[in-house]
Structure 1
Amino acid sequence: MDSLSDIAVFIQVVDSGSFTAAAERLSLSKSVISKYVTRLEDRLGARLLNRTTRKLSLTEVGRAFYERSERGLQEIAEAEAEVSRLQGEPRGTLRINAPMSFGVLHIAPVLPEFLERYPQLTVDMNLDDRKVDVIEGGFDVSVRISDLGDSSLVARRIGPCRHVVVASPAYLKRYGIPRTPEDLEDHNVITYQYQDSAKEWEFRLPGQKPSMVSVSGSIQMNNSLALREALLNDAGITRTPTFVVGRDIQEGRLQSVLTNYELPEISIYLVFPQRKYLSPKVRVFVEFMREYISDTPSWDQKTKVDR
């Protein structure tokens, strides 16, 4: 078993890029990590890593050993996951990555129900509006709200992500309701930093070709929850997902405009590393979130809109 432990630590060092980062991920001291790797090299009679004070790199032998060993450990993990799947209750820690707004609004509130349903599970959730590397970050599953193009990941669609152009009633009373996309030129548009085409928006009337409109304003943000607060405080107008503002529209705190135009629609996915077997903890989380969101999310139902 020492051999497998040494190999697992070696792989973690390579994936992390340093002994220090590997020590933090494994909750071990840097000296213990070094001991594992040295013991592995001594047993193999070969140097696997070139160590300098500034850089860590694989030797030629080390790279070949890493590639074979990484596949081998993955096969072991998949075998264990399959046994667990066949034998029962999901257990262990589910590491989730999600955008800040979606995690706060739509994952955190339902975690108690999820954990009550699967009491052998614990959850470690990381919230970050930037796109993270699922494998490098050590996550079991990540929420992606986009059009996916990364073939190295497995994706499961759990629902739609619709967008609206929205502002507070007080803002619209003061500055007027835009009737065409071109009217946005006369408005203070709040833009979201991580959104594709943040300052050039696409609109389409049913049956017609899409048109692009340039927008600008005095506020740019990198977090949808902060953007929502600015809207509620009459700071401007924006385009944002309904999962952020749907409740506010339903309850009259915000008002959607330009509703006769179609906006691009993307999807909400759960993505995870490519594996032969889907681990039980990820499988039940996918099923649970699909059940919660569906193709008609609660935040898209009975929404008050300006016609």
Structure 2
Amino acid sequence: MDKLDAMTLFVAVVQDGGFSAAARRLGVSAPVVTRAVSELEAAMNVRLLVRTTRVVKVTEVGERYAQDCRRVLGELQEIEQAASGTHGAVKGKLVVSASVMFGRLRLNAVVLDYLKQYPETEVECRFIDRNVNLLNEDVDVAIRIGDLPDASFHATPLTTVRRMAVASPAYLKRNGTPRQPKDLAQHTLIAATGVEPGSEWKFRAGSGVDAATVAVPVRARLATNSNDHAIVAASEGLGITRVLSYMVEEQLAAGELVEVLAKHAPPAVPVQALQHQGLRASRKVRAFIDLAVERLRG
């Protein structure tokens, strides 16, 4: 079998998690896929996949090889597009990932603008509250909030967001407004565990970049992994919650919520667009990121 065809089939097995699933998606028989992977393993004298009766797992060598295959196949596609004169066109399917709320409140508008501007494109949105693996899950662009421990992907800054403690005016009228982080011990707290997964909230003790950090233990009357749930509870006067600034812009503008302890808020965190192709990113990826920068930056 042609080496490039075999590489395509192998990448499909890794992506779909099995030979049968890859075969169905590509419209070939399962034995053809199995033979292609076996030929690759025999040619290199390595084990790429571990097969059992119930599951197919990728070995460490197979993981690296799959990444290299994706890069080679992607570069081949770029070469073919350039030769056929279509390299400059923004076209094809784009897979975009973000957290559920950021996708709904911020990225959805970018996606709709992108589809309107580039009629030869398709977009698959995967709005999910976990960090996807761009390579293994074939994601073109992932939006991440916070500092990035892994520098292996190309990151484009989009904007920043802040952690904000908020409460309804009615709650503050009944219970008073906290002036210092330690005052939260006397208040009813609502923990949005999707934003603050631990058992404490961190604040700045003073102003300036060198201000010390103060950790406040959180004993929540309500703990929820739904940010929407925490915001609704706070809006209805049940207590103080802490979420990211973009999540409550509408409620703040409408006066349903107000920020407390603003001068003690921790520093803003970055929102970045990740993609793994770097400067060689395809036109569809570059066009989407450029539009996201235009719509979200500032």
TM-score bracket, shorter-length normalisation: 0.7 to 0.9
Distance (Å, rounded) in 1 between the aligned partners of 2:283 and 2:152: 20
Distance (Å, rounded) in 2 between the aligned partners of 1:56 and 1:209: 49
Amino acid at match of 2:207: P
Q: Would the aligned equivalents of 2:158 and 2:297 in 1 still touch at CA under 8 Å? A: yes
Distance (Å, rounded) in 2 between the aligned partners of 1:50 and 1:4: 22
Amino acid at match of 1:206: S
Query: Which of 271, 277, 280 is the equivalent residue of 1:277?
Result: 280
Distance (Å, rounded) in 2 between the aligned partners of 1:161 and 1:55: 41
Q: Would the aligned equivalents of 1:169 and 1:254 in 2 still touch at CA under 8 Å? A: yes
Distance (Å, rounded) in 1 between the aligned partners of 2:61 and 2:182: 62
Q: TM-score, normalised by structure 1?
A: 0.81
> Match of 1:27?
25
Residue 270 (structure 1) shift: 0.6
Distance (Å, rounded) in 2 between the aligned partners of 1:7 and 1:93: 21
Q: Would the aligned equivalents of 1:11 and 1:66 in 2 still touch at CA under 8 Å? A: yes
> Match of 2:294?
291
- Mapping 1:158-177, distance limit 5 Å: 158-177=158-177
Return 193-202 or 278-287, whichever deviates more: 193-202
Amino acid at match of 1:213: V
> Match of 2:127?
127
Alignment coverage as a number of residue pairs? 292
Q: Deviations over 1:145-167 (max 9, x none)?
A: 01111122111110011221101
> Match of 1:259?
262
Q: Does 1:111 align with 2:111?
A: yes
Query: Which of 182, 203, 209 is the equivalent residue of 2:212?
Result: 209
> Match of 1:137?
137
Identical-pair percentage: 33
Amino acid at match of 1:177: T
> Match of 1:247?
250
Structure 1, gaps ≥5 residues long: 296-307
Q: Would the aligned equivalents of 2:9 and 2:37 in 1 still touch at CA under 8 Å? A: no
Distance (Å, rounded) in 1 between the aligned partners of 2:64 and 2:286: 33
CA RMSD of aligned residues (A): 3.2
Q: Would the aligned equivalents of 1:178 and 1:184 in 2 still touch at CA under 8 Å? A: yes
Structure 2, gaps ≥5 residues long: none
> Match of 1:298?
none
Distance (Å, rounded) in 2 between the aligned partners of 1:85 and 1:213: 60
Distance (Å, rounded) in 2 between the aligned partners of 1:197 and 1:43: 44
